[in-house]
Chain A
């Protein structure tokens, strides 16, 4: 399958990319890893008039710490996985990247693309909701920082304008006694999630939850944040009863649909079980475990 014709331009830097997009009258698309966009173009579900290739903007491919963790939009999943800072301090991101598609796709696929594509079946959105990430975007009007809670509008739709480019993802540095985990159930390697749950917890010195973030994959038109479940955890020790209540709440907030990956009722139960397991794993990591 060969996509419809399009014009192609390599962007030298971010301002150049924005300029190129602006010249396309809203018909341009950014080409980053291309692992979602190119399949859509091959099926002709997407027919952009112009592709702006940002792959040569090496400055967008860096991971660094500056208080928070700053992930350039062009960081490949494979590089997120092997980054020493991420490996040591952000295990929830390692959990997430390692279950995206397959190793070959992860050699091309980018973290920024996974978020900007806004597929509720993608894995980073739930995790970024759980860790309270921020999205940095640039346009001709300058740079803005968007809280992740405001980023996703609908399936395949974010608040990014047509000539605005996602440049960086900022993940707050977890305080002491923090831990996070992402769990995904998939039918086979490379498939999208039947369901996925991300949990980020911070405990106080008595083991009570002082901060909780829970995100769910494939449970609505966008990845969702399970706020009621977070409320149940906050102030409590994550014992069996609290975990069960929070997990039930997370399922209650989810709206999965029946499809080839299973009926909605089944998926709700998967979400409930994955939430329990992810809370336990996050709490274990918060107290020095794996």
Chain B
């Protein structure tokens, strides 16, 4: 967690001002304390790539990275991200080039309806940052908090494995 510079409080007022860096861009926004991070992203910032699925901490469709860690953004208040960084699916593509995880989902047909995909990809990005050469079991454990109701997970696991190979050795993934 980022170090708090000034004590934040909403006491006696309806909203409070937060500073959050989302995909590298700083945002200063007035929010009510009860606004969840996922609502802040979708409604205050208009970034609807992060989905709301179950809204009960089960499905992982709303997964984003908060200060580098994959979290369910329906179960974090936006004010908790004050002075912090958030990474969402919108930040994966850089300069018109897909992130290896996006490339993996494309190559291995890792999505059908696509609803769980942003959460799956953000979980995978955080996971691959800590485990560059995962086994299939490790991948399955890593995505065990993300539900997909279409695919049976087989192609999602392949997609993440594909990304892992590309990220280790850019030439390897093309084989």
A113 to chain B, nearest CB (A): 12
B11 to chain A, nearest CB (A): 5
Judged by a CB distance under 8 angstroms, whether A58 is at the interface is yes
In the complex where A34-B77, A104-B146, A190-B58 touch, is A7 in contact with B11 (Cβ < 8 A)?
A: yes
In the assembled complex, the Cα of A102 lies from the Cα of B12 at a distance in Å of: 37
Residue in A closest to B36 when the chains form the complex, CB atoms: A2
Judging by beta carbons under 8 Å apart, are A103 and B145 in contact? yes
Judged by a CB distance under 8 angstroms, whether A105 is at the interface is yes
Judged by a CB distance under 8 angstroms, whether A260 is at the interface is no
In the complex where A10-B8, A53-B80, A55-B80 touch, is A107 in contact with B69 (Cβ < 8 A)?
A: yes
Judging by beta carbons under 8 Å apart, are B11 and A6 in contact? no
Judged by a CB distance under 8 angstroms, whether B167 is at the interface is no
Judging by beta carbons under 8 Å apart, are B79 and A53 in contact? yes
In the complex where A5-B32, A189-B145 touch, is A34 in contact with B76 (Cβ < 8 A)?
A: yes
Judging by beta carbons under 8 Å apart, are A103 and B75 in contact? no
A122 to chain B, nearest CB (A): 14
Judging by beta carbons under 8 Å apart, are A9 and B80 in contact? no
Across-interface contacts of B145 in A (CB, < 8 A):
101-105, 189-190
Across-interface contacts of B77 in A (CB, < 8 A):
8, 31, 34, 38, 51
Judging by beta carbons under 8 Å apart, are B39 and A8 in contact? no
Across-interface contacts of A78 in B (CB, < 8 A):
69
A 3-58 contacts with B by CB, 8 A: 3-10, 12, 16, 31, 34-35, 38-39, 41-42, 50-51, 53, 55-56, 58
- How big is chain B's contact interface, by range? 35 or more
In the assembled complex, the Cα of A3 lies from the Cα of B8 at a distance in Å of: 19
Residue in A closest to B2 when the chains form the complex, CB atoms: A56
Residue in A closest to B58 when the chains form the complex, CB atoms: A190
Judging by beta carbons under 8 Å apart, are B33 and A190 in contact? no
Across-interface contacts of B144 in A (CB, < 8 A):
102-103, 189-190
In the assembled complex, the Cα of A9 lies from the Cα of B13 at a distance in Å of: 12
Judging by beta carbons under 8 Å apart, are B72 and A105 in contact? yes
Judging by beta carbons under 8 Å apart, are B33 and A8 in contact? yes
Judged by a CB distance under 8 angstroms, whether B41 is at the interface is no
| From B16, B70, B72, B142, contact of A8 by CB (8 A) | B16
Fill in one digit per residue for B43-77: 1 if any A CB lies within 8 Å of its CB, else 0: 00000000000011110100100000111100111
Judging by beta carbons under 8 Å apart, are B75 and A3 in contact? no
In the assembled complex, the Cα of A1 lies from the Cα of B34 at a distance in Å of: 10
Residue in B closest to A53 when the chains form the complex, CB atoms: B80
Judged by a CB distance under 8 angstroms, whether A108 is at the interface is yes
Judging by beta carbons under 8 Å apart, are B34 and A39 in contact? no
A97 to chain B, nearest CB (A): 13
Known contacts A9-B9, A38-B76, A108-B72, then 12 further A-B pairs from the complex at CB < 8 Å, ordered by chain A residue:
A2-B36, A8-B77, A8-B79, A34-B75, A35-B75, A42-B56, A56-B3, A101-B57, A103-B145, A108-B69, A108-B76, A190-B144
Footprint of B on A, CB under 8 Å? 1-10, 12, 16, 31, 34-35, 38-39, 41-42, 50-51, 53, 55-56, 58, 78, 101-105, 107-108, 189-190
